[in-house]
Amino acid sequence: MADLNLMRELTMTADTKIILFVMDGLGGVPKEPGGPTELESASTPNLDRLAAESMLGLSIPIGHGITPGSGPGHLALFGYDPVKYLIGRGVLEALGIGFELTKDDVAARGNFCTVDHNLLITDRRAGRIPTEKCVELVNKLRAIRLPGVELFIEPVQDYRFTLVFRGKSLSPHLNDTDPQKTGHPTLEVKAQAEGALLMAEMANRWIAAAREILKAEKQANMVTLRGWSKEPGLPKFTETYHLRAQALAVYPMYKGLAALVGMDVLQGLHTLEDQLQALKANWGLYDFFFVHYKYTDSRGEDGNFEAKAAEIEKVDAAIPRFLDLKPDVFIVTGDHSTPAVWKAHSWHPVPTLFYSKGLGRRNEVKGFGETACLGEALGQFHAMDLMPMALAYAGRMNKFGA
């Protein structure tokens, strides 16, 4: 596989356009043995027709048997080894709510929890308080001030919040304070590396102040913090691939991930229609477009097989809009599978359609679906290999060696 240094050497600019269209959690499994998957049960005349002119295959996001989160799933699609390039949980949580991290920030994921009078945890999720309560408590915690740092705290959902320390030379090398079981006190923050002493002290002071504010609460009377991390400083698309890239996504998490690899992120998109109009409007300005569709994953997580299939049908209706732009390379894939019968992300390889203007090889066509993708021209491949293939078919790769 090509690493990013090799890609930096081999890629060049060209007057070609690539669209990476990600249907989140696209892959599925049948409801009953031998039955169709969500994608196979959906009526997708446009994707089926396009499949007849494309190469099909199955993308392995991380490795066989490995279920990816959104971060690694997308990094792999962007061509970044997701096992090498790690994004901390605090950073991901901040990205997920659209918090704009600077390089001076250390982010942590926070949980409200319940402790007894001996400060021993009785409920690690504070009885799963509703989001409204979370917002109310977070607003109270905004009163906390510490010398030398700026503090940001934002509600996420239910008992979860994001906490960001901003200041010069802050270290994220701290332990999680959640002991991962009840009947134990929350853990003290300790420095896990030289240079993290000051940050550990500030974290402990923030926690003490938070406890003071929360102590009268019945459920959410304490906090745990974990996943301390900084913006990971990933190589950027411009230098790595010689691509001007734009992200057209609705959800903050995916905009945040795209920003991490140096894509320009267009804000203010709310629907697929918004995304399609933006794609057309910005067609001349960029070489690469990452378009993200969330609801296939959402309905898979809900366990609603038919609703997921219906989302795929909505997308299918939009396929001609992409093709009208005459992309040199148009990829339809997912960051992972989210089979409705699993109600969760899964490790199953993801059906992938790879269309290029340049001639490729292909099999007899059986439409676009998991079974159709087996043994097709792309075979099973690692998600990380999609970018090199996209760049090659778009005429953007030099030869390796003489």
CB of 227 to a second copy, least distance (A): 8
What pairing do the DSSP bridges indicate for beta strands 150-157 and 18-23? unpaired
Q: How far is the CB of 345 from a second copy (least distance, A)?
A: 6
User: Which residues from 83-122 bind a second copy, rule CB under 8 A?
Assistant: 83, 86-87, 89, 92-93
The minimum distance between CB 263 and a second copy, in angstroms, equals 19
Cβ(280)–Cβ(17) under 8 Å? no
Give the whole-angstrom CA distance, residue 241 versus residue 9. Answer: 9
- C-alpha gyration radius of the chain: 23
- The DSSP bridge partners found for residue 121 are 115
- The phi, psi pair for 391, rounded to 5°, reads -70, -35
- Which residues from 340-379 bind a second copy, rule CB under 8 A? 341, 345-348, 359-363, 370-371, 374-377, 379
From candidates 70, 219, 246, 333, binder to a second copy by CB under 8 A: 70
Q: Which contiguous run of DSSP H or E holds residue 183?
A: none
Smallest distance, a second copy to C-beta of residue 281, A? 29
Select from 16-24, 25-33, 192-200, 270-278 the region that touches a second copy (CB under 8 A).
Answer: 25-33
Is the four-CA dihedral 51, 398, 239, 60 of positive or negative sign? positive
Query: In angstroms, what is the minimal distance from the CB of 7 to a second copy?
Result: 9
Stretch of 214-222, 239-247, 288-296, 385-393 contacting a second copy, by CB under 8 A: 385-393
Helix (H) / strand (E) containing 5: helix 4-10
**Cβ contact 107:87 at 8 Å:** no
- Which residues, numbered 115-154, are part of the site for a second copy (CB under 8 A)? none
Task: Determine the Cα angle at 54 with ends 374 and 250, to 5°.
Answer: 90
> Which residue from 8, 53, 187, 325 is in contact with a second copy, where contact means CB under 8 A?
53
Residue 199 as a binder of a second copy (CB under 8 A): the answer is: no
Burial, 198: exposed, middle or buried (Cβ in 10 Å; 0-12, 13-18, 19+)?
Answer: middle
Under the binding rule (CB under 8 A), the answer on residue 260 touching a second copy is no
| Identified binder of a second copy from the candidate list 20, 47, 58, 108, rule CB under 8 A | 58
Q: Rounded CA gap, 87 and 79, in Å? A: 15
Q: Which is nearer to a second copy, 39 or 151 (CB)?
A: 39
SS3 138: helix
Query: Binding residues for a second copy, per CB under 8 A?
Result: 1-3, 6, 10, 29-30, 33-34, 37, 53, 58, 62-73, 82-83, 86-87, 89, 92-93, 339, 341, 345-348, 359-363, 370-371, 374-377, 379-381, 385-393, 397-402
